[in-house]
Structure 1
Amino acid sequence: MTLTSEPGTFEDMLRVAAELDTPDGYKAELFRGKIIVSPWPRARELLSMRSLRRLLEPHTPEGYATETAPFLFRLTASERAFGPELFVAEETAFAGPGRHVDGEALALVAEPATASERDVDWQDKLAAYGRQVPVYLVLDMRDEEITAFWDPSPRGYRSRTTVPFGHTLHVPAPFDFDLDTSGFRVPSGM
């Protein structure tokens, strides 16, 4: 579902998205002046994201939270607001009211690229995160591989590495550890 409104400010669009009564299992995000309502990932992606969360937590910098809770992060420079499937963000960013959090607080974002969200994760989110989020992980569920993007710049990420599930992926600073991706494979029949 796509909702557009009369031209307004980015903050106006955030307010409208917050006021939407989205059905359970759906989230509202802002893309290029539009509010997009889409489903959270399917149950089978949950296993991969939970595994990733458990592996990231011991390497999360002090004062940061590793979460899968549904929060909308404002990426003001890109005029986007996304609700990542997994994020690592400064704990102090959650002190305010509401469900909108400043995207400057993000240290890492991870998304499972599924058939319905593939273009969004590989294009829109990559471009917006690539300007300010230190690390972006894309778990490609169809091709069974994971890509790490890092070193953000005004033009997007300067570096990337892709490995098949089952191989080790180095997650760069501020995490700086080797990630075992063997738990990300989707069991056959799911």
Structure 2
Amino acid sequence: MTERATPIEQTAPPTFETLLRTVEEMDTPDGFKAELIRGKIVVSPWSMRRYYRPMRALRKQLEAHAPEGHVADVAPFLFRFPEAGRAYGPDLYVVDESGFEGEGRHLDGAALSLVAEFTSVSTKDVDWHEKLDVYGRLVPVYLVVDMQDSEITCFRDPSPHGYRSRTTVSFGEPLQVPEPFGFTLDTTDF
């Protein structure tokens, strides 16, 4: 007997909520995270260990300058952007602590005051395009830490069409992080 693939007829693509439930029920292997990117569930590894020092340096500086009631963290939480049909697990983020109140496993992307993504060969395109577009409509500050080009870019001033401003510096150069943080980031440890 020969096995044949049998197509499953589906009348409509799965909804955002259905995909979120699927991600929630997944048994993702240790060291991996699942995100909703372009309407698909994408599983990718957490950052490499050589990213630890720059992530730690960035987190410490952001914690010291975070807005009142906000925390900087790297915990594996999924932030929802239902208008865009996306849900991301940022490498590092600053979020209003009130976003953790209530039930459920996914946080509202509107609670974010800053997101930082550390690029890898496999995620660079998504960090620079897909996430830039979604974050650029809502999150006040987005930092792309380009580990391949040794640069950091700060996007600021979100709008319905994306961020209005950006600044890029090489690692080792200072970078101005705008309000609600309002400080100069020291990138020498990156």
Q: TM-score range by the shorter chain?
A: over 0.9
CA distance in 1, matches of 2:188, 2:104: 37
Residue segments in structure 1 that go unaligned for 5+ positions in a row: 185-190
Structure showing greater Rg: 2
- 137, 144, 151: which one pairs with 2:150? 144
Aligned residue in 2 for 1:169: 175
CA distance in 2, matches of 1:183, 1:142: 15
Residue segments in structure 2 that go unaligned for 5+ positions in a row: 1-9
1:85 aligns with 2:91: yes
CA RMSD of superposed structures (Å): 1.1
Aligned residue in 1 for 2:118: 112
Identity of aligned residues (%): 60
Offset of 1:141 from its aligned partner? 0.6
Matches within 5 A, 1:1-190: 7-184=13-190
Partner secondary structure for residue 96 of structure 1: coil
TM-score (norm 1): 0.92
CA distance in 2, matches of 1:76, 1:173: 26
- Across the two proteins, how many residue pairs are aligned to each other? 180
Moved over 6 A (4+): none
CA distance in 1, matches of 2:39, 2:117: 22
2:164 is matched by which residue type in structure 1? R
Offset of 1:77 from its aligned partner? 1.6
- Deviation string, structure 1 residues 86-116 (Cα, Å, up to 9, x no partner): 0001101111233200000000000111111
TM-score (norm 2): 0.92
